[in-house]
């Protein structure tokens, strides 16, 4: 992998901070308790379109796209319960995964478009034409990831420019009136102004969709209802079961706060719930800083 360019963070008065483009899904989201007791999540403020943690996540997911594309190519020929059987004239039935085929085309189209725009601002040679028959499958994806990874900050800092995208009819109906495009039976081809913030979000979405189609995504963690976080500065009812670690030798946590990230093992969780239950019944509870281990 080529060395990544990392642009200096602007600090001048003409460059005000902006919220992370991931909004409420920002890795460093800022929590605000509203008057009605609900909590609002806002993207962390910074000088780039993404906070540092989300920038790192975009890089990580971008690097995985060639592998996911290859896995999708292997999956497209396998029959599935949702696949269609297509009979060629005088030939056997061919299992077709239209969802996989559509995602592979989308992945190549999206990454190639950002490859072209990044090449323009970084003064690089442009990628091969999308219609080249000599290009082996996946080559455009690999080349795009190589260039985008090496110029990630140039990509994420791109200004809005018209870009053509294929979207569902439902998505097209939600676009502002006057958005140019063509409505086709299967989808709508629209032209929208997309920036580097959109590029980062599209990379994250492609990664998620590919893993979802391949069955690699995990089920949503079970929420531990009724129990608040033990940290006084958080105190939100946002506890959920922690995911098992990939490394068997790593500590296995029982619960995790989805708001602040505080984690407890099973003994700590049981101790905290007992103490919270006593407090809820009107009894005193030891100070939180004494947990766990207090008698």
**Inter-CA distances, 223 with 33, 42, 177, 238, 254, Å:** 20, 22, 40, 8, 12
- Predicted model pTM: 0.66
3-state DSSP assignment of residue 106: helix
Report CA-CA distances (Å) from 107 to 2, 22, 68, 100: 21, 20, 10, 10
C-alpha count within 13 angstroms, C-beta hemisphere, residue 107:
35
Contact call for residues 88 and 125 (beta carbons, < 8 A): no
Quote the longest CA-to-CA distance of the chain. Answer: 81
Q: Domain ranges for the chain, please list them.
A: 18-159+195-213, 161-194, 239-290
Tell me the average confidence (pLDDT) per consecutive run of 10 residues in the chain, 295 residues long: 46 72 89 77 91 94 94 77 42 62 89 93 70 62 93 94 85 82 82 93 93 77 76 80 67 81 86 83 50 43
Q: In the prediction, which pLDDT does 153 show?
A: 94
């Amino acid at each position: 992998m080529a060395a990544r360019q990392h642009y200096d963070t602007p600090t001048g008065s003409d460059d005000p901070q902006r919220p992370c483009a991931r909004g409420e899904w920002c890795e460093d989201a800022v929590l605000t308790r509203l008057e009605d007791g609900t909590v609002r999540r806002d993207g962390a403020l910074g000088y780039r379109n993404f906070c540092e943690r989300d920038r790192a996540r975009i890089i990580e997911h971008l690097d995985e796209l060639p592998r996911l594309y290859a896995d999708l190519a292997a999956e497209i020929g396998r029959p599935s319960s949702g696949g269609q059987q297509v009979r060629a004239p005088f030939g056997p039935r061919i299992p077709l995964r239209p969802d996989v085929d559509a995602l592979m085309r989308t992945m190549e189209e999206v990454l190639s478009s950002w490859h072209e725009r990044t090449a323009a601002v970084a003064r690089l040679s442009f990628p091969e034409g999308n219609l080249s028959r000599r290009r082996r499958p996946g080559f455009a994806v690999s080349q795009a990831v190589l260039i985008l990874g090496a110029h990630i900050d140039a990509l994420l800092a791109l200004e809005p420019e018209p870009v053509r995208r294929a979207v569902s009819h439902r998505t097209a109906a939600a676009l502002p009136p006057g958005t140019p495009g063509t409505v086709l039976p299967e989808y709508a081809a629209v032209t929208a102004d997309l920036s580097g913030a959109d590029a980062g979000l599209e990379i994250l979405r492609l990664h998620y969709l590919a893993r979802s189609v391949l069955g690699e995504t995990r089920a949503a963690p079970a929420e531990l209802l009724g129990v608040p976080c033990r940290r006084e500065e958080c105190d939100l009812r946002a506890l959920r079961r922690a995911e098992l670690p990939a490394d068997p030798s790593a500590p296995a946590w029982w619960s995790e706060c989805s708001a602040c990230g505080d984690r407890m093992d099973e003994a700590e969780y049981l101790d905290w719930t007992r103490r919270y239950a006593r407090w809820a019944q009107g009894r005193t509870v030891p100070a939180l800083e004494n947990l766990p281990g207090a008698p």
